[in-house]
Structure 1
Amino acid sequence: MSSITHFCSTQLQAPDFAVCLRLLLLSPALEECVVRAGLQEWMTRQLAARNGGLPLTQGGPVLVSTAVFGLLHIGSGWQHVLAVLAPGLALALLYQRSRSWTWCALAHSGMNAFAISVCSL
């Protein structure tokens, strides 16, 4: 088993229509709405309010949303939690810069499509 396929669940290796619908549309939209537009945005606003509205580092909200995003994948095992941390960080940084959860959902969907294509080889 190669190191890449070690991270491939059975669903990623042979996805049916329902799995593709969930991984390409539903999960990205729901996860990004909750984690980025919800948690990360809320934390960012809380920090800004405590700082009198002055700009400050967004490291805390970015790291917390990345960790929560990883933990959302624990149902697939710890190896998947670790595997999604780097993409989760990229999505958190994209949200920090764009403040658009829809851009994050599109990027998330693209990442899932890439995972499906690699795992189903």
Structure 2
Amino acid sequence: MRKPITVLTTLLLLLAMTATASASGNGWRSDSPAGSVKVSSDRKHITVCDLEDDTTEVWAEYATSFLLMHTVKAEKAGGFECGEDSVFFGYITVFKLCFRYNQVAKQCNRSVWIK
């Protein structure tokens, strides 16, 4: 019986530590100086863009309503490039923008939960 309590506690902690996205007609987004990620208003499409012409890697990590985790990466680090992905079953429920400067440790913005 201890396992369900641990899972529930973990989920509650994750919810408490993350930011909630504000809904708009254009969807949801998260930005940093290195890049940006946008989820469409129908929660089926995600686009991540590298905003700097440098060696920074930019990608988005996201989960779907089917509890599947995915990653979409800007195609080329530092080339003002964007990467896109689509969800065919279910919809995107949470996402976060991640980046790595000069091959150093990964950094991510707070997770954005879509309600």
TM-score, with length taken from structure 1: 0.25
Q: Report 1 or 2 for greater relative contact order, CA contacts < 8 Å, sequence distance ≥ 6.
A: 1
The structure with the largest strand share of the pair is 2
TM-score, with length taken from structure 2: 0.26
